[in-house]
């Protein structure tokens, strides 16, 4: 559905994005991650035909962004980082204008505007002037305009920014429900959001892609050891020593707790599951074992490692 090959954008002496190559399959929701200034917004602007690339190619919905830009625009809904709204119009007036600009017929315009208002939870704001709305409501108006016309492809730049916790949950649910129905590229600074709604992640740093994969696969590729968290009721100095003596244990760190009840993070060989052995050590020592569970790398851990270490690009 989206095919990018060698995409590059240069501003003067600055290369914003450099030879990006990736694909997004039909019905897939993909997270687009990177630190500030990495090139995320530039990539989205190029794919939405907001600006041309300096070199490289991209096809969106089967259409070339250079030679068939109008066809691309007809098939995408774009939510930019800073939503351009007509602040002197009501929500309904603005969405009706956008629907008309997108070529929706008079017969379907009212229906599609009503559907977008309902899906983006704007029922109580439909008659209000946009300029008097909160930032969160304005963000939802921007998402509603992206959904008008039922586009098969959505490009969303920070869709939950400015929303309150309840609204964030509702919009995440809306995006998650699009899996299999629409192709979505989602840029966000909220890393747990990607784990909740996206099937794959594309991580970009300094204008170049450093990884393309599922969070689970990236974890397996980058995790150099296995970590197990235990909560133990026993003398801390003795517990630490006994855990370190277990074969395959690389390191033991006391995390938190008070008195005899503490939590310990045990690092072990990557290819060995030592949970049974660790439980045996605790039980034979006569201590209480209140918790024992593996700890995987978080998406935040993956992100930090990839933007500070060597690229591990893969599909």
Give the pLDDT mean for 130-137.
91
Residue 35 belongs to domain with CATH number: 3.40.50.300
Token output for 143: 């998402």
pLDDT above 60 (res 166): yes
Q: Does residue 235 sit in the same domain as residue 213?
A: no
Q: Does residue 156 sit in the same domain as residue 23?
A: yes
Exposed / middle / buried, residue 143 (Cβ in 10 Å: 0-12, 13-18, 19+)? buried
> pLDDT tens for residues 15-72?
999 999 999 999 999 999 888 888 999 999 999 999 999 999 999 999 999 999 999 9
The count of structural domains within the chain is 2
The H or E element containing residue 133 is none
> pLDDT tens for residues 83-128?
889 999 999 999 999 999 988 998 899 999 999 999 888 999 999 9
How sure is the predictor about 177, in pLDDT bands with cuts at 50, 70 and 90? confident
Question: How many residues comprise the chain?
Answer: 315
CB environment 159-171: b (16+ within 10 A), e (fewer): bbbbbeeebbebb
- Residue ending a domain, among 157, 188, 220, is 220
- Residue ending a domain, among 220, 238, 256, is 220
Q: Does residue 239 sit in the same domain as residue 261?
A: yes
Q: Does residue 187 sit in the same domain as residue 104?
A: yes
Within a domain: 7: yes
Q: Which domain holds residue 105?
A: 2-220
Q: Does residue 146 sit in the same domain as residue 53?
A: yes
**Model confidence, pTM:** 0.79
Within a domain: 306: no
pLDDT for position 309:
63
Mean pLDDT for the chain overall? 89
Question: What percentage of the chain exceeds 70 in pLDDT?
Answer: 98
> pLDDT tens for residues 211-220?
898 888 887 7
Which residues 6+ apart lie within 8 Å of 53 measured at CB? Answer: 7, 8, 9, 46, 65, 66
Does 175 or 94 have the greater pLDDT score? 94
Q: Does residue 168 sit in the same domain as residue 75?
A: yes
> pLDDT tens for residues 262-298?
999 999 987 788 999 999 999 999 999 999 998 877 7
Within a domain: 303: no
Spatial separation of the C-alpha atoms in residues 268 and 262, rounded to whole Å? 19
pLDDT for position 220:
75
Q: Does residue 41 sit in the same domain as residue 156?
A: yes
Q: Does residue 167 sit in the same domain as residue 287?
A: no
Strand segments (E) across 149-260: 153-157, 183-187, 200-205, 208-213, 226-233, 249-258
Within a domain: 307: no
Spatial separation of the C-alpha atoms in residues 43 and 51, rounded to whole Å? 9
Which residues 6+ apart lie within 8 Å of 224 measured at CB? Answer: 270
Which residues 6+ apart lie within 8 Å of 307 measured at CB? Answer: 34, 35, 38, 203, 205, 210
SS3 state at 241? helix
Q: Does residue 164 sit in the same domain as residue 93?
A: yes
Q: Does residue 237 sit in the same domain as residue 208?
A: no
The per-type count for the chain, helices as H runs and strands as E runs, is 11, 14
Residue 286 belongs to domain with CATH number: 3.30.70.100
Scanning the structure block, which residue is given the tokens 């690009």? 313
Q: Does residue 114 sit in the same domain as residue 246?
A: no
Q: Does residue 196 sit in the same domain as residue 254?
A: no
pLDDT above 70 (res 310): no
């Amino acid at each position: 559905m989206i095919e990018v090959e060698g995409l590059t954008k240069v501003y003067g002496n600055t290369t914003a994005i450099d030879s990006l190559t990736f694909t997004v399959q039909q019905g897939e929701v993909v997270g687009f991650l990177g630190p500030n200034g990495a090139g995320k917004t530039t990539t989205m602007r190029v794919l939405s035909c907001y600006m041309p690339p300096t070199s490289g190619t991209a096809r969106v919905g089967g259409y070339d962004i250079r030679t068939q830009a109008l066809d691309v625009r007809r098939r995408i809904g774009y939510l930019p980082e800073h939503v351009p709204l007509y602040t002197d119009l009501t929500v309904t007036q603005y969405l009706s204008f956008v629907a008309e600009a997108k070529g929706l017929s008079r017969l379907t315009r009212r229906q599609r505007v009503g559907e977008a208002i309902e899906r983006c939870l704007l029922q109580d704001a439909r008659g209000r002037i946009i300029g008097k709305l909160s930032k969160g409501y304005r963000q939802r108006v921007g998402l509603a305009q992206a959904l008008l016309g039922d586009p098969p492809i959505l490009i969303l730049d920070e869709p939950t920014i400015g929303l309150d916790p309840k609204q964030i949950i509702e919009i995440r649910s809306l995006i998650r429900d699009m899996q299999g129905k629409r192709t979505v590229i989602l840029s966000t600074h909220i890393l747990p959001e990607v784990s909740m709604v996206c099937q794959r992640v594309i991580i970009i740093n300094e204008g170049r892609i450093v990884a393309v994969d599922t969070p689970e696969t990236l974890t397996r590729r980058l995790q150099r050891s296995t970590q197990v968290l235990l909560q133990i009721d026993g003398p801390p100095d003795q517990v630490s020593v006994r855990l370190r003596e277990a074969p395959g244990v690389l390191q033991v760190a006391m995390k938190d707790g008070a008195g005899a009840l503490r939590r310990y993070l045990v690092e072990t060989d990557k290819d060995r599951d030592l949970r049974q052995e660790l439980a045996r050590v605790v039980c034979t020592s006569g201590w209480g074992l209140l918790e024992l569970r593996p700890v995987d790398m978080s998406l935040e851990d993956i992100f930090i490692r990839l933007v500070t270490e060597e690229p591990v690009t893969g599909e």
